[in-house]
């Protein structure tokens, strides 16, 4: 049971929002991060590894319960299975390995084995080690860009969702580092593969994703860090497509939230596909656009995430259409300014 502690770096492409009981983003909340990690592990386990997944309840929320599981062949408890396996194989297998196999015998899904469920403690603990606070002022946001001509103004929505209690500014979090504590067995067998898989991809963490927040690149500190090498135009297993639109010319010195771009795309789409592709209240979107990112040049990411737990998929053709639409619009606007 050798312990393993790794520092996981959430490199925020756009800052994080994790709302507390007051729906304010007062601190980075570990429960939010843990929930996101678990979700992305489930996606990885289901879609990439083709492994067994959690049992869900009526609300489609994890309902695994160790107490309810019984070995189909012989009705025995985990303790009994574990002892028997230990006596049989303890010589050449590690403690955690035997535990893992005993849980496999009982039929507990791997995500629940790792992140815990009723009657089973999580094998992964996290502790937030550092983060950077960033303020976003209401006055700093451009609600029109870049679609002035279309008369699109998102002020009402942004105000009613993000600034509902405080009208002047909100706090966001950047570059979160967390200490992930587990043991070598679970790391080597499940987690290292998971982090390795996502290291050149974007995942969503926390809330207010449709506003453009929470786009994160997840990396294990100390590992090869070829930044942005692959995020540019990536597609895997039909689950996620990412397209980067670069060199946007923008001269208004205000911040633009991803919500503006998404709102534009949504309005351009035919009514019957809107809800399906862009979500609605109580159902998430399949299309996300990042905030306008101001590095050396202005760029945004257009992302399509096809939830593998759901069967609705945005086909290549549609994604390409959105890509083109956004590109053309940003480009023509840029040209005018240039």
Partner 1 sequence: MAKYDALIEINIDEVKSLSHYVSYCKFYFKPKSEEKIENYLFKNKENNELKETDKVNIDKLKKDFPFISSSKAFKKDDFFKFLKKNKSNETTKDFLVTWLKEEIMKENKNFVFDNDQQLKNVNFISGILTLNIANDYVRKLPPYSFIIQASFKLKQPYFSKDDDEFYIISNPILKEKVFKVPMIRGSGWKGALASAFKELINEKSNHNERVEVVDSYLRIFGAGSDSIKAIEDYLKWKSSDLKNFKEKLLEFILFELGLTVDKNLLEKINEQNSYEGLHKFLEEQISHKLQKDNKNLPIELRTHKGRAIFYPTYFDKLSLEVINPHDRRKRAGTQPIYYEVVPEGTEGFLQIIYIPFDGILKENEVLKSEAEKDLENLLLAIEKVSQIGIGAKTKLGWGTFEVCEDKYYFTNKDLNLSEDLKGKRWLKWQD
Question: Of 146 and 206, which CB lies nearer to partner 1 in the complex structure?
Answer: 206
Contact between residue 10 and residue 204 where contact means Cβ atoms under 8 Å apart: no
Question: 293 forms bridges with which residues in the sheet?
Answer: 299
Question: Of 24 and 268, which CB lies nearer to partner 1 in the complex structure?
Answer: 24
Stretch that binds partner 1, among 6-14, 188-196, 293-301, 303-311 (CB under 8 A): 303-311
| 216-254: b (≥16 Cβ within 10 Å) or e | bbbbbeeeeeeeeeebeeeeeeebbbbbbbeebebeeee
Under the criterion CB under 8 A, does residue 42 sit at the interface with partner 1?
A: yes
Q: How far is the CB of 169 from partner 1 (least distance, A)?
A: 15
Q: What does the block give as tokens for 22?
A: 């007051």
Under the criterion CB under 8 A, does residue 161 sit at the interface with partner 1?
A: no
Element spanning 110, H or E: helix 110-115
Query: Per CB under 8 A, which of residues 117..156 are in contact with partner 1?
Result: 121-122, 124-128
Q: Which residues lie below 8 Å from residue 91, measured CB to CB, with a gap of 6+?
A: none
Residue 180 DSSP code: E
Under the criterion CB under 8 A, does residue 163 sit at the interface with partner 1?
A: no
Q: Between 80 and 119, how does the x/- string for binding to partner 1 read (CB under 8 A)?
A: ---x--xx--xxx--x-------------------xx---
By CB under 8 A, name the one of 61, 156, 168, 272 that touches partner 1.
61
Instruction: Compute φ and ψ for 242, nearest 5 degrees.
Output: -130, 130
Residues forming the site for partner 1 (CB under 8 A): 1, 19-22, 26, 29-31, 34-35, 39, 42, 54, 56, 59-62, 79, 83, 86-87, 90-92, 95, 115-116, 121-122, 124-128, 279, 282-284, 307, 309-310
């Amino acid at each position: 049971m050798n312990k393993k502690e790794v520092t996981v770096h959430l490199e925020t492409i756009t800052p994080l929002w994790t709302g507390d009981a007051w729906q304010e983003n007062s601190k980075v909340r570990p429960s939010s991060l843990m929930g996101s990690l678990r979700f992305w592990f489930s996606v990885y386990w289901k879609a990439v590894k083709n492994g067994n997944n959690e049992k869900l309840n009526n609300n489609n929320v994890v309902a695994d319960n160790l107490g309810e599981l019984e070995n189909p062949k012989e009705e025995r408890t985990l303790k009994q299975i574990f002892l028997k396996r230990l006596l049989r194989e303890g010589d050449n297998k590690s403690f955690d390995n035997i535990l893992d196999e005993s849980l496999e015998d009982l039929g507990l899904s791997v995500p629940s084995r790792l992140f815990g469920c009723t009657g089973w403690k999580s094998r992964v603990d996290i502790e937030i080690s550092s983060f950077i606070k960033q303020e976003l002022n209401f006055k700093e946001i451009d609600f029109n860009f870049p679609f002035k001509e279309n008369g699109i103004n998102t002020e009402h929505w942004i105000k009613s969702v993000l600034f509902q209690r405080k009208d002047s500014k909100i706090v966001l979090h950047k570059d979160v580092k967390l200490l992930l504590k587990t043991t070598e067995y679970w790391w080597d067998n499940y987690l290292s593969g998971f982090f390795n898989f996502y290291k050149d991809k974007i995942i969503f963490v926390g809330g207010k994703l449709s506003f453009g927040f929470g786009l994160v690149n997840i990396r294990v500190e100390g590992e090869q860090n070829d930044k942005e090498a692959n995020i540019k135009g990536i597609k895997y297993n039909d689950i996620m497509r990412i397209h980067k639109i670069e060199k946007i010319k923008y001269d208004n010195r205000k911040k633009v939230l991803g919500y503006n771009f998404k709102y534009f795309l949504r309005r351009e789409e035919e009514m019957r596909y809107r809800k399906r592709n862009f979500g609605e209240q109580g159902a998430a979107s399949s299309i996300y656009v990042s905030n306008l990112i101001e590095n050396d040049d202005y760029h945004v990411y257009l992302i399509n995430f096809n939830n593998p737990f759901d069967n609705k998929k945005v086909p290549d053709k549609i994604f390409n259409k959105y890509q083109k639409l956004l590109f053309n619009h940003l480009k023509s606007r840029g040209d005018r300014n240039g």
